[in-house]
Amino acid sequence: MHFGLITKESPVFRHGECQFSIILLIEVCIGAFLKTGIIRSHGGDVLIMPAMYFFVRMLYPRKIKLLPYMLFIFAAIVELLQYLNLLELLSIRRTSLLGIILGSTGD
Per cent of the chain over pLDDT 90 is 7
- Three-state SS annotation for 24-39: HHHHHHHHHHCCCCHH
The answer to whether residue 84 scores a pLDDT higher than 60 is: yes
Whether pLDDT at 105 is above 70:
no
> Model confidence over 61-72: pLDDT tens digits?
888 899 999 999
**Mean pLDDT value across the chain:** 78
- pTM, two decimals, is 0.68
Torsion of CA 65, 21, 31, 43, to 10 degrees: -40
- Distances from the Cα of 99 to the Cα of 27, 38, 53, 66, angstroms: 16, 21, 21, 28
- Please write the tens of the pLDDT for every residue from 11-32: 545 566 788 888 888 888 887 7
